[in-house]
Homo-oligomer: A and B are copies of this chain.
Amino acid sequence: MSAQARPPFPAQLTNPAPHHPHWASLQADIEAHLKQTMPLKQPHEVFNPMHHLVFSAPRTTVPALCLAACELVGGHRQEAMPAASALLLNLANAHAHEHLLLSDRARPGDGYGANIELLTGDGIVPFGFELLARSDDPAHEKSERILRVIIEISRAVGSEGLQKALYMENTLEDESDGEDPRHVESMRVVVEKKEGGMHACGAACGAVLGGGSEEEIERLRKFGYYVGMTQGMLQRGLLQGLEDLRNLAFNQLQFFKDRGLDIHIISTFINF
C-alpha cells in the first residue's frame, strides 16, 4: 500500500499511550522486577526520589517490546528482564533530564528539586548496567550476550543516539516553526534516534538474550525501528508515510510467521 493510498487512521493509533493488555502484562512484570531490585530502604533521601523518578516517568513500549522479542525467538521473558529494566531506567533518566532542560521556562514542579532530578538520574543509569552485568550465570555462558547488550544499550542511549535526539529536540523547540519543511525533516531525525532507535535497540536486545539467530536479531531490530518511527511520527502529528511504516514493520514479522512462530503478541506493538 503506498503512502498516497493510505486509509484514514484507526482511532486507537491517535492515542500515544500504550494500553494493550499484552503490553500491560509485560510492563507490570518489569515494574515488579524493578521494585524487587530497588527496595525502598535507607537512606530515604536516595531511594525515595529514585522510586519516584523511575515509576512516575511516562511509560513507553520499549522495555515491553524487549521481553516480547525475547519470547518470540524462544527465550523466556525472565532472560530479557535485565535489559528491559536497563532500558526503562535509561529512559527514566532521559525524561528527568529533559525536564531539567525546561527549568528556565515553564517547568512543572514534582516535589523534588533540580539537584535531586539531576543526581538521581545519574544514579539510575549505572544501576541499569549493573543489573545487566549481574545477570550473568555462574558458568558464564551468557557473558557474551550480556556484553553485546551492554554495547547495544550504550550506543542507543549515548551521544549519537538518544542524547543527540534530546539535544536536537530541545533546539528545535526553541526555534519552532512547525510548517517549515526543514523543521519536519529535523523532527524526523529526532524520531529516528529517539523512538526509532530505542525500540530498535529494545527488540534487538530481547532477541540477543533470548538466543535468537543473527537474522532474527536483525529482523527484530528493523521491526522495532519501524514500530518506534510509527509511534514517534504519530505523537508529533507527522502523519505522512505512517501506513508505509506499519507495513514495513509487519513485513519483518512475516519472516517469523513463515517459520510457524506465533507473532500475535508482538504484532500488537504495531498498533500502539
- For the complex, is A45 an interface residue (Cβ under 8 Å from B)? yes
Q: Which residues on B sit within 8 Å (CB–CB) of A153?
A: 126
Residue pair B163, A120 in contact (C-beta under 8 Å)? yes
Kindly specify which of A57-65, A130-138, A228-236, A246-254 makes contact with the partner chain.
A130-138
Q: Is the interface of A mostly helix, strand, loop or mixed?
A: helix
Q: Quick one: which of A211-261 are within 8 Å of B by CB?
A: none
Residue pair B147, A127 in contact (C-beta under 8 Å)? no
Q: Assembly of this chain: how many copies?
A: 2
Q: Which residues on B sit within 8 Å (CB–CB) of A129?
A: 126, 129, 150, 154
Residue pair B159, A130 in contact (C-beta under 8 Å)? no
Q: Which residues on B sit within 8 Å (CB–CB) of A154?
A: 126-127, 129-130, 133
Residue pair A97, B118 in contact (C-beta under 8 Å)? yes
Q: Which residues on B sit within 8 Å (CB–CB) of A157?
A: 122, 126
Q: Quick one: which of A134-160 are within 8 Å of B by CB?
A: 134, 136, 140, 143-144, 146-148, 150-151, 153-155, 157-160
A122-B93, A158-B123 known; A151-B133 Cβ under 8 A: yes
- For the complex, is A270 an interface residue (Cβ under 8 Å from B)? no
Residue pair A144, B147 in contact (C-beta under 8 Å)? no
A266 to chain B, nearest CB (A): 26
- Tally chain A residues at the interface, Cβ within 8 Å: 50
Q: Which residues on B sit within 8 Å (CB–CB) of A100?
A: 100, 118
Q: How far is the CA of A159 from the CA of B43 in the complex (A)?
A: 10
Residue pair A159, B127 in contact (C-beta under 8 Å)? yes
Residue pair A159, B97 in contact (C-beta under 8 Å)? no
Residue pair B126, A45 in contact (C-beta under 8 Å)? no
- For the complex, is A115 an interface residue (Cβ under 8 Å from B)? yes
Closest 7 CB pairs of A and B: A123-B159, A143-B143, A130-B154, A126-B154, A133-B150, A123-B163, A133-B147
